[in-house]
Amino acid sequence: MRLPRLCGPIVRPGVEPTAIDGCTVTTRNYAAHARVLAESFLRHNPGASFTVLVVDDGDCGVGSAPGLRRLTPREVGIDEPELARRATMYTAQGLAASLKPALLQMLLAEGGRPVVLLDADGSVYGHLGALARLAAEHSLLLSPHSLSAHPLWAHDSPEQIFMRSGVMNAGLIGVGAGAEPFLEWWGERTARRCVFDAGHALMLGQTWLTLATCLFDHHVLRDPGYNVAGWNLQDREVHWDGDSPTIDGVPLRHFHFAGSYDAERPDLLTTQAHADWWPKLQGRTGVLRLSREYSSRLLAGGYLEARQASPAFDRTPGGALIEPWMRAEFRRALIASELEGSDEPPNPFSDGDEAFAGWLDGRARGRVDAPAGSDTDELLRALRDRESLLARIGELDAARDEAIAWARRVSGELEVLKGILAEVEAEPAPTGGRAALVVRDARRRLRRP
């Protein structure tokens, strides 16, 4: 398969330099994704810049090229104490999503020209000048999950899924001058409420965008060539004109390979079981070619090496896994402390493992006698599981001690039997009759393992 060049911008006659800054937020295990995205963005947009905010490792292999730079959370205004708080309450995905507003704010203030944020798991296939113009004109550019209706199912449907996860997709957002109030509003909400919590209408930072359409001037991107993904391919196909992909009769400019895309399984658009309603690629040669080419670029960009690295904040500095209930309990306590003006809870990255573990233990035990409720059930279950585990460890320790004692007792008895055997063998054996048979049988039994 012949792949287009990854490096070097495409310069076509009559194409003006793209007055736009692109960016993404990534963690070290998605470094290959960010590298492929940055290369594709810069290749198709001469004169543009691309910034990668790396949450947990400033030098994680996203590459280097003219127009590409890497930033750390500190460089976008997230100091170490705040990063430690977010690293404790959020998973890697939530942490990355919570930093999108800060990155957009910094780039917009710094460059004064439109900024487009793309999720790391995507690729650019064309010039994005239209996005720059729309963001400059409308301040806020949002991309919906779908531009056409989906069929209804018996009890659920893709459209209901969109309403739960957010009508707009946070994988493509454009901002221009005037978007500052939106970014401040969005950043305040993602700072403490960037989690998966369907019961409280939260799907990371994405569901907030549905409300943003009512609060801020904006433009909804309805060009079918952008933010194409498995969730909006139900009634359309990708076609190729040489090395240029198209969809719905227009150039395909950006494809979003979301849904835990696996570069080692390019015949699938997603490996998520709950996304089984996405179209299958069998017989869809245009999308299949797109997927295979993207897979090849990821693998060449260090995908296998990057995926072996776990996000830095999955564990405490001492190596203990930060479980979901721990993150949820810390987040609730932090929000309460900030509302009340009281001391915030300790976190492992600022205060150490021992302080964090001690606080969790005291918090859990203080709720043992509390009435069951939605905010305590998971914590109490975790505490009971912990106590059950400790009890089981105690049982196993007792069983081990008993086994050791039994082995020592048997070993002593064997020594005694060996002594008896030695004495028996030292005695002259009877030469005949019943006595001889008894002695021979005793000797045989004592030698048996």
The reported pLDDT for the residue numbered 2 is: 33
Q: Measure the CA–CA gap between 372 and 303, rounded to whole angstroms.
A: 45
Helix axis angle, 353-365 to 324-340, nearest 10°: 80
Q: 342 pLDDT exceeds 70?
A: yes
- Please report how many Cα atoms fall inside a 13 Å half-sphere around the Cα of residue 53, on the Cβ side: 27
For β-strands 244-247 and 238-241, DSSP reports them as: antiparallel
pLDDT of residue 41: 97
Residues in the chain: 449
Cβ–Cβ < 8 Å for 363, 386: no
Here the tokens at position 440 are: 């021979």
Unique residue bearing structure tokens 């490996």: 271
20, 25, 31, 36: CA torsion to nearest 10: -30
Instruction: Give the tens place of pLDDT for each residue, 152-180.
Output: 887 888 889 999 999 999 999 999 999 99
Q: 140 and 182 in contact (C-beta within 8 Å)?
A: yes
CATH of domain 21-309: 3.90.550.10
For residue 136, the tally of other CB atoms under 10 A from its CB is 18
Name the least confident of 296-305, 352-361, 366-375: 366-375
pLDDT surpasses 50 at 262? yes
pLDDT band, very low/low/confident/very high, at 196 (cuts 50, 70, 90): very high
Distance CA(122)–CA(113), nearest Å, equals 22
Q: What is the pLDDT of residue 111?
A: 81
Structure tokens at 383: 């505490």
Segment 139-150 shows an average pLDDT of: 94
pLDDT confidence of 311, banded at 50, 70, 90? confident
What pLDDT was estimated at residue 338? 97
CA dist 82 and 59 (Å) reads 21
pLDDT in tens, 94-122: 999 999 999 999 999 998 899 999 999 99
pLDDT beyond 70 at 6:
no
Distances (CA, A) of 216 to 107, 251, 303, 373: 20, 30, 38, 37
Residues 79 and 354: their CA atoms lie apart, in Å, by: 23
User: Given pLDDT bands bounded at 50, 70 and 90, which one contains residue 365?
Assistant: confident
The reported pLDDT for the residue numbered 447 is 54
Q: What is the pLDDT of residues 225-234, one digit of tens each?
A: 999 999 999 8
Report how far residue 167's alpha carbon sits from residue 346's, in angstroms, rounded to the nearest whole number. Answer: 36
- Mean pLDDT over all residues of the chain? 85
CA distances from 228 to 88, 132, 138, 167, 204 (A): 33, 18, 22, 15, 20
User: What b-and-e string marks burial along 323-332, b requiring 16 or more CB atoms within 10 Å of the CB?
Assistant: eebbbbbbbb
pLDDT (mean) for 70-87: 96
**Mean pLDDT, residues 40-65 taken together:** 86
Q: How far apart are CA 2 and CA 239, in angstroms?
A: 16
How far CA 108 is from CA of 76, 101, 136, 177, in Å, comes to: 11, 10, 11, 7
Q: Per the structure block, which two tokens stand in for 313?
A: 């904040």
Q: Where are the domains of the chain?
A: 21-309, 315-365, 379-447
More confident residue, 245 or 430: 245
Residue 1 has pLDDT above 50, yes or no: no
Q: What is the pLDDT of residues 280-300, one digit of tens each?
A: 999 899 999 999 999 999 999
- Structure confidence at residue 414 as a pLDDT band (50, 70, 90): low
> What pairing do the DSSP bridges indicate for beta strands 168-175 and 140-144?
antiparallel
pTM score > 0.75 for this model? yes
Strand-pair partners of 241: 244
Does the pLDDT at position 368 exceed 90? no
